Amino acid sequence: MNFVWNGPMIAFYIIALGVLGAAVLMLSVRKVVYMALSIGGVFIGAAAIYILLGAEFVAVAQILIYVGAITILMLFAIMLTNHKAEEPPFQWTGRNIFAAVGSVLMAVVLLAVIRSTAWPVQPADVHLNAGNSNPVAIGLVMFKQYAFPFELVSLVLIVGLVGAVILAQERKEDE
Amino acid sequence: MTWTWSNVWHWAAHPLSWPGFVGMLVGAVLVLLLALLVVMYSIYWQRKFIGWIQWRIGPNRVGPWGLFQTVADVLKLLIKEDVIPTGVDRTLFLIAPIFAFVPAFLVLSIIPFSAHHVFTANLGIGVLFYVAVSAITIHGVMLGGWSSNNKWGLIGGMRSAAQMLSYEVPLGMSIVGVVLMAGTLNLNDIVAAQAHTLWYVIPQIVGFVVFIIAGTAEMNRTPFDLPEAESELVAGYHVEYSGFRFAFFMLTEYVYLLAMGGLMATLFLGGWTGPFLPGWLWFAIKVFAFITFQFWLQATMPRMRQDQLMSFSWKVLLPLAMANLVITAVVKALV
């Protein structure tokens, strides 16, 4: 393993520490509102990592959708329903022990897979966005190369939207 | 890495270096000072201007023509006791004003104040960055209202979040028309594109109107100031706040006034371009016109009702912005 201590590497470790900190915070706080907020912290950290990788558009979309909309919807749901909800203090039950063992095993397997994979190393002089700005590059790829999958994804979203409306609709026959 | 003194101010175009980093810090501090100054005199101008509209004199006691009135008010807020009521959710109550203010300041980082964008970023995703980051403020407002443990605070926070969330959609859609015409999200390039042709306020007049209305709602200003409706909610989400935490919420509101004015000037009025005068002055004039327009609205319009508010956003503004977008696309494809 070769470490290079340059700016992006240091930034990566700081951001990763922040993301992990927010994730651990999410697991350790007992109030539901705090949990929703710590998830927001994880989302912002992920956006920072995208910026570090040069994917500005994805980063901003991440903030716009996850931090700006999804976290707020979660907060809305929490505040309008059981807004004083707290989790009971942690106890070592059989289920928790099983979950802990499972997560450790999962981590070991993931680490083994990651370490055993030969990652392709990109030559440093290749410009990822091919000279365009990041959103232009994404647009070109999306509408030239992946136009069909892109349309299919929008179909999935439409189905989800219509499904939600049908589920939320008042059932007339019940009255 | 070659480095010269000129890199200190043109850090955006060069790899990161220590002097460039110092330049960035100085730039950020300067933008902060500028924002504070503008906020201070926006509040003064608001009181003076509305005073004139209502046939009053307005502040005239502190300093010549009352020019130091806001300074005195800010000093009063800063030295006030920091009251934290007993029933509040302490952690959230303390950090909510910070959540609200930080994005407000962050969005200033992409506004091109002058032709030589010394202190602001030449970001390829500029407009989107503004829309995305300004959404974080909703957290601050909402948590401030919730953590106060006060019914008016909660209702105000909820209203505010619902309003800002739903008006963000037509706001974004009205911006897309401009982005489509300019062919870029970069604010500096949008200004340059307008310099070649004409200001986008003329071809994008529908988008401009939607932008102004949605922007006013996004800033919670009259006639969309339901979150703070004094006559029914006392003060809305910041009802329990006092001292400098209250000042932070006020600061957020007025920094957004500056930022939204800057965004409007950049997107629709050609930013810093204009004949004869220097660029920064043109920019200042356009932003000043926007701010004055907001105060004029405030003195003129009554408040909307909550049920009118939501349906207006989704049933009027959004279809209008969509239609504008489609027409812009068709015209661009044909011409």
Look at residue A1 and tell me if it is in a domain: no
Residue of B nearest to A132 (CA): B124
**In percent, how much of chain B has pLDDT > 70?**
93
Which of A122-131, B19-28, B155-164, B196-205 shows the lowest per-residue confidence on average (mean pLDDT)?
A: A122-131
Q: How far apart are CA B197 and CA B141, in angstroms?
A: 40
User: What number is the average pLDDT over the span A76-99?
Assistant: 76
User: What number is the average pLDDT over the span B300-311?
Assistant: 82
Predicted-assembly ipTM surpassing the 0.85 threshold: no
pLDDT at A59 over 80: yes
Look at residue A136 and tell me if it is in a domain: yes
Confidence class of residue B110 from pLDDT cuts 50, 70 and 90?
confident
The pLDDT of residue B145: 82
pLDDT at B13 over 60: no
The pLDDT of residue A112: 92
* Helices B243-268 and B151-182: angle between axes, nearest 10 degrees: 20
State the DSSP code for A84: T
Pick the closest to residue A76 from B9, B217, B261, B157 (CA basis): B157
pLDDT at A144 over 90: no
* Residue numbers in B near A69 (CB within 8 A): 135, 165
Nearest to A60 among B92, B128, B162 (CB): B128
Confidence class of residue A106 from pLDDT cuts 50, 70 and 90?
very high
Smallest CA–CA distance, residue A103 to chain B, in Å, is: 31
The pLDDT of residue B2: 45
Nearest to A63 among B16, B133, B146 (CB): B133
Look at residue A24 and tell me if it is in a domain: yes
Number of H helices, E strands in chain B: 13, 0
Confidence class of residue A17 from pLDDT cuts 50, 70 and 90?
very high
Is residue A120 classed as helix, strand or coil in its secondary structure? coil
Give which of B176, B185, B190, B237 to mutate to test A binding, by max A Cβ within 10 Å.
Answer: B185
Confidence class of residue A21 from pLDDT cuts 50, 70 and 90?
very high
The pLDDT of residue A130: 67
Q: Give chain B's mean pLDDT.
A: 82
Look at residue A2 and tell me if it is in a domain: no
Angstrom distances, CA of residue B235 to CA of A21, A90, A127, B229, B267: 35, 40, 52, 6, 33
Selected residue with higher pLDDT from A87 and A149: A149
Q: Using CA of residue B122, residue B128, residue B133, residue B138, what is the dihedral sign?
A: positive
B300 burial type by CB count under 10 A (0-12 exposed, 13-18 middle, 19+ buried): exposed
The pLDDT of residue B237: 79
pLDDT at B64 over 70: yes
Is residue B305 classed as helix, strand or coil in its secondary structure? coil
Smallest CA–CA distance, residue B104 to chain A, in Å, is: 14
The pLDDT of residue A174: 56
Beta-bridged to residue A86, according to DSSP, are: A31
Q: How far apart are CA A135 and CA B124, in angstroms?
A: 8
Residues from A contacting B (CB-CB < 8 Å) are 7, 31, 33-34, 37, 40, 56-57, 60-61, 63-64, 67-69, 71-72, 75-76, 79-80, 83, 133-136
User: What number is the average pLDDT over the span B258-273?
Assistant: 86
Confidence class of residue A80 from pLDDT cuts 50, 70 and 90?
confident
The pLDDT of residue B1: 38
Smallest CA–CA distance, residue B62 to chain A, in Å, is: 41
Residue of B nearest to A136 (CA): B184
The pLDDT of residue B119: 62
Residue-wise pLDDT for B202-213, tens only, equals 888 888 999 999
Smallest CA–CA distance, residue A134 to chain B, in Å, is: 7
Which of A119-123, B57-61, B72-76, B218-222 shows the lowest per-residue confidence on average (mean pLDDT)?
A: A119-123
A79 with B138: Cβ contact below 8 A: no
Look at residue A115 and tell me if it is in a domain: yes
User: What number is the average pLDDT over the span B166-180?
Assistant: 88
* Residue numbers in A near B133 (CB within 8 A): 63
Residue of A nearest to B145 (CA): A79
Q: What are phi and psi of A83, to 5 degrees?
A: -80, -5
* Residue numbers in A near B159 (CB within 8 A): none
* Residue numbers in A near B125 (CB within 8 A): 56-57, 60, 133-135
Is residue B92 classed as helix, strand or coil in its secondary structure? helix
User: What number is the average pLDDT over the span A1-9?
Assistant: 66
Residues from B contacting A (CB-CB < 8 Å) are 16, 89, 91-92, 123-125, 128-129, 131-133, 135-136, 138-139, 142-143, 146, 154, 157-158, 161-162, 165, 168, 184-186
Q: Which two tokens stand for residue A8?
A: 């992006």
Look at residue A96 and tell me if it is in a domain: yes
Q: How far apart are CA B317 and CA B304, in angstroms?
A: 15
CATH number at residue A141: 1.20.120.1200
Residue-wise pLDDT for B320-332, tens only, equals 999 999 998 898 8
Look at residue A77 and tell me if it is in a domain: yes
Pick the closest to residue B62 from B75, B52, B51, B49 (CA basis): B75
Which of A44-48, A106-110, B141-145 shows the lowest per-residue confidence on average (mean pLDDT)?
A: B141-145
Beta-bridged to residue B183, according to DSSP, are: none
Which of B11-15, B78-82, B160-164 shows the lowest per-residue confidence on average (mean pLDDT)?
A: B11-15
Nearest to A75 among B129, B142, B184 (CB): B142
B132 with A64: Cβ contact below 8 A: yes
pLDDT at B9 over 60: no
The pLDDT of residue A4: 66
Confidence class of residue A111 from pLDDT cuts 50, 70 and 90?
very high
Look at residue A55 and tell me if it is in a domain: yes
pLDDT at A82 over 70: no
Smallest CA–CA distance, residue A69 to chain B, in Å, is: 8
**In percent, how much of chain B has pLDDT > 90?**
5
User: What number is the average pLDDT over the span B189-195?
Assistant: 82
Nearest to B132 among A68, A75, A133 (CB): A68
Confidence class of residue B135 from pLDDT cuts 50, 70 and 90?
confident
- Residue pair B210/B63 in contact by the 8 Å Cβ criterion: no
Which of A9-23, B6-20, B103-117 shows the lowest per-residue confidence on average (mean pLDDT)?
A: B6-20
Which of B85-94, B112-121, B188-197, B206-215 shows the lowest per-residue confidence on average (mean pLDDT)?
A: B112-121
Nearest-Å Rg of the Cα atoms of chain A is 21
The pLDDT of residue A102: 93
Residue holding tokens 């101008």? B45
Nearest to B142 among A64, A72, A136 (CB): A72
* Residue numbers in A near B186 (CB within 8 A): 133
- Residue pair B243/B268 in contact by the 8 Å Cβ criterion: no
- Residue pair A29/A38 in contact by the 8 Å Cβ criterion: yes
B124 with A64: Cβ contact below 8 A: no
How many domains are contained in chain A?
A: 1
* Residue numbers in A near B128 (CB within 8 A): 57, 60-61, 64, 135
Q: Which two tokens stand for residue B202?
A: 């003329």
The pLDDT of residue B282: 85
List the beta strands (DSSP E) in chain B.
none
Selected residue with higher pLDDT from B4 and B315: B315
Confidence class of residue A1 from pLDDT cuts 50, 70 and 90?
very low
Percentages (nearest 5) of helix, strand, coil residues in chain A: 75, 0, 25
Q: Which amino acid is it at A66?
A: Y
The pLDDT of residue A159: 92
Give which of A58, A63, A76 to mutate to test B binding, by max B Cβ within 10 Å.
Answer: A63
Structural domain span for residue A162: 7-174
The pLDDT of residue B17: 67
